[in-house]
Structure 1
Amino acid sequence: MNQINWGIIGCGDVTEVKSGPAFSKAPHSQLVAVMRRDGEKAADYAHRHGVPAWYTDADALINDPNVNAVYVATPPDSHADYAIRAMQAGKPVYVEKPMALNAAECAAMNQVSRETGMPLFVAFYRRALPYFLRVKELIDNKAIGDIRVVNVQLNWPPDDRETVAGRGWRVSPDVSGGGLFHDLVSHQFDLLAFMLGPIQSASGIARNQAGLYAADDMVVASFAFESGVVGTGSWCFTVNKEQRLEQTQLIGSQGKITFSFFENFVITVDTAAGTETLTVPFPEHVQQPLIELIVNELRGGPKSPSTGETGARASQILDWITV
């Protein structure tokens, strides 16, 4: 392919700034069609973003001859269905995270990718963001020696949308595959594997403590990497605002790196020489660096760092911990 013409299935909130505009800002790439079941919302999105075509039917978008790659940005319960349909129609697919409801669905998607020869990518865009690449560079350059332990902490207050009354899909297990743990922590496990190598085992305890919705709201876990590094994590989504905390620490033989997956742009490196603070801001459209790498691969360039195979591993870890 010379020019990548994208169609989006599910042009909701995530596509407004994080991803949608990036498809037309990336070189040799253009957003040419969008689909949403609500025709009024699909037309409005197309008008606001300068997209020439809009649909209310996914198959109509998939079969649009002007579309030669598809971005699936619906909730996870339809990721496998839409991605498989698009690949069987001969279109490469970029799918939102988590990749699907569970590891079994991910495996089915990857099988179709192999059978059709259509590339499959997952929106674990942190693999291409300068902030996280800086953390990986510190690890690779042994800024804190050999990594021994990973500690992940996330304590957030509940969002008004993510309650029984709010009916947020992220806390409906039949739609999201789990709760906020599945939605957010998939990013963390994927990136940790990118930086430290594959995670070979994980186990945990998941509980619904506050009863705000059907999904778990508290998870604790331990996990081990093939490299010998071990990790622990705790995630609670029902603390008060004063207890809000989100940080990850990498403990090495000669120091410690502290960074954030979601909250800020600061990286702190503590060694015997002192404390160094690095600030690396995110770009306006956080998915654009990864989208550019995917476009380059589809045009015959190097492989993207986030594929269906790597995305499936994150879902497998979630299953190990919560199923």
Structure 2
Amino acid sequence: MGETVRWGIIGCGDVTEVKSGPGFQKAEGSELVAVMRRDAVKARDYAERHQVPRWYDSANDLIRDSEVDAIYIATPPAYHKEYTIAAALAGKPVYVEKPMARNYQECLDMLEACERSGVPLFVAYYRRALPRFLKVKELLDQGAIGEVRFVTTRQTAPLELAEGDELPWRLVPELSGGGLFFDLASHTLDLLDFLLGPIVSASGIATNQGGRYAAEDTVTGVFRFASGAHGTGTWCFAADEREDMNEIVGSKGRLLFSTFGHEPVKWKSADGVREFPFERPMHIQQPLIQQIADQLRGRGACVSMGESGARTNWVMDELTKRRDEE
């Protein structure tokens, strides 16, 4: 890899407009040189609006582009495995959107392909690189709340899909792996892996309570970390209102923070409550993209790799094994 990593994007949809795409152009040692979308008109429009030199309507054509060093896959999860393997066979590092795939087995296949080809596999769990969550990890590592005993997480949202509405791909298991649990809870579960270490056992119940689509809309689970800490979580996307809460309880205090909000991180202890505010980044994936560019140029290491991304898929598979049981 040279001094600049030249990126190609497969699937330049909404997530690439602000969250990720500009990050490839603004990160040091990184450049976005090509984009692909099956709709040629939309691919060309994206390239023109974002000043990207080349566009394609074929993923294979982009992968074969000799001036593309690394591939960012921003498609629905149904296509992650296919494009990851194709990029790996071409000898190109892969950065894939989250969740890493539709299930754990697909993740293992992706890891095997990249290992065989000797290329790294990165996963877009970008919260691992955000200052807000690095502060939570710093407090935990410093022993601010003593020994971690358990964590509770709860995320709720109203059921906003009306009868007859066209289903977004996130609610079609064949495309996404599941419902909003796979799309949103994956962020929280991966973040807990980053903060507290791997989850080694998990079980749960997944049901559809709202009746608007086939995928689960409510999941409740229990899990245990390798450290011995316990965890419980409930995700309900057919509830009365929005809520987003994580609480890590230790022997000497507790930490409270949301996964998707930007309110201050709270540290509660015998000395009272301290708050740590953070600003929302303009391009939320840019800090992680910078880590990836640094690793590819031999100047650092990325904290979100295929191995950790696969662990999150394993946990989600375990939590949703029991579906629609009464």
**Given that residues 9 and 58 in structure 1 are in contact (C-alpha distance below 8 angstroms), is that contact kept between their aligned partners in structure 2?**
yes
Structure 2: distance between partners of 1:213 and 1:157: 14
Structure 2 unaligned spans of 5+ = 322-326
Aligned-pair CA distance for 1:164: 5.5
Specify the code of the residue in structure 1 equivalent to 2:283.
H
Specify the code of the residue in structure 2 equivalent to 1:211.
G
Structure 1: distance between partners of 2:145 and 2:287: 27
The secondary structure found in structure 2 opposite 1:256 is strand
Aligned-pair CA distance for 1:263: 2.0
Specify the code of the residue in structure 2 equivalent to 1:259.
F
> Which stretch of the first structure deviates more once superposed, 259-268 or 193-202?
259-268
Aligned to 2:307: 309
TM-score for both structures, normalised by structure 2: 0.96
Structure 1: distance between partners of 2:281 and 2:298: 25
Specify the code of the residue in structure 1 equivalent to 2:305.
T
**Cα distance change, pair 91–163 in 1 and its aligned pair in 2 (3 A):** farther
Q: Does 1:213 align with 2:213?
A: yes
Aligned to 1:123: 124
Aligned-pair CA distance for 1:163: 7.1
Aligned-pair CA distance for 1:157: 1.3
Alignment of 1:163-182 (within 5 A): 165-182=165-182
Alignment of 1:58-137 (within 5 A): 58-137=59-138
Structure 1 unaligned spans of 5+ = none
Aligned to 2:273: 275
Aligned to 1:44: 45
The secondary structure found in structure 1 opposite 2:41 is helix
Aligned-pair CA distance for 1:133: 0.2
Aligned to 1:10: 11
Aligned to 1:318: 316
Aligned to 1:191: 191
Moved over 2 A (4+): none
- In the comparison of the two structures, how many residue pairs are matched? 320
Structure 2: distance between partners of 1:48 and 1:247: 37
Aligned to 1:31: 32
The partner residue of 2:259 within 261, 273, 276 is: 261
**Given that residues 152 and 247 in structure 2 are in contact (C-alpha distance below 8 angstroms), is that contact kept between their aligned partners in structure 1?**
yes
Specify the code of the residue in structure 1 equivalent to 2:273.
T
The secondary structure found in structure 2 opposite 1:22 is helix
**Given that residues 219 and 236 in structure 2 are in contact (C-alpha distance below 8 angstroms), is that contact kept between their aligned partners in structure 1?**
yes
**Cα distance change, pair 150–26 in 1 and its aligned pair in 2 (3 A):** same
Aligned-pair CA distance for 1:228: 0.4
Structure 2: distance between partners of 1:173 and 1:292: 32
Aligned-pair CA distance for 1:254: 1.1
TM-score for both structures, normalised by structure 1: 0.97
Q: What is the CA RMSD across the aligned residues, in angstroms?
A: 1.1
Structure 2: distance between partners of 1:24 and 1:115: 30
**Given that residues 159 and 210 in structure 2 are in contact (C-alpha distance below 8 angstroms), is that contact kept between their aligned partners in structure 1?**
no
**Cα distance change, pair 163–305 in 1 and its aligned pair in 2 (3 A):** farther
Structure 1: distance between partners of 2:52 and 2:242: 39
**Given that residues 29 and 295 in structure 1 are in contact (C-alpha distance below 8 angstroms), is that contact kept between their aligned partners in structure 2?**
yes
For 1:113-157, what per-residue CA distance to the aligned partner results, in whole angstroms no more than 9, with x for missing partners? Answer: 110001110001011000000010111111111110100010111
Specify the code of the residue in structure 1 equivalent to 2:88.
M
For 1:79-127, what per-residue CA distance to the aligned partner results, in whole angstroms no more than 9, with x for missing partners? Answer: 0000110110111000000000100000000001110001110001011
Specify the code of the residue in structure 2 equivalent to 1:221.
G
Structure 1: distance between partners of 2:288 and 2:272: 34
Structure 2: distance between partners of 1:312 and 1:282: 27
**Cα distance change, pair 164–63 in 1 and its aligned pair in 2 (3 A):** farther
**Given that residues 8 and 70 in structure 2 are in contact (C-alpha distance below 8 angstroms), is that contact kept between their aligned partners in structure 1?**
yes
**Given that residues 207 and 216 in structure 2 are in contact (C-alpha distance below 8 angstroms), is that contact kept between their aligned partners in structure 1?**
yes
Aligned to 1:300: 298
**Given that residues 181 and 235 in structure 1 are in contact (C-alpha distance below 8 angstroms), is that contact kept between their aligned partners in structure 2?**
yes
For 1:23-76, what per-residue CA distance to the aligned partner results, in whole angstroms no more than 9, with x for missing partners? Answer: 010111100000001111111110110001000000000001110100000000
**Given that residues 8 and 35 in structure 1 are in contact (C-alpha distance below 8 angstroms), is that contact kept between their aligned partners in structure 2?**
yes
Q: Does 1:229 align with 2:205?
A: no
Aligned to 1:142: 143
The secondary structure found in structure 1 opposite 2:21 is coil
Identity of aligned residues (%): 53
**Given that residues 24 and 31 in structure 1 are in contact (C-alpha distance below 8 angstroms), is that contact kept between their aligned partners in structure 2?**
yes
The secondary structure found in structure 1 opposite 2:158 is coil
Aligned to 2:324: none
Aligned-pair CA distance for 1:158: 2.6
Specify the code of the residue in structure 2 equivalent to 1:256.
R
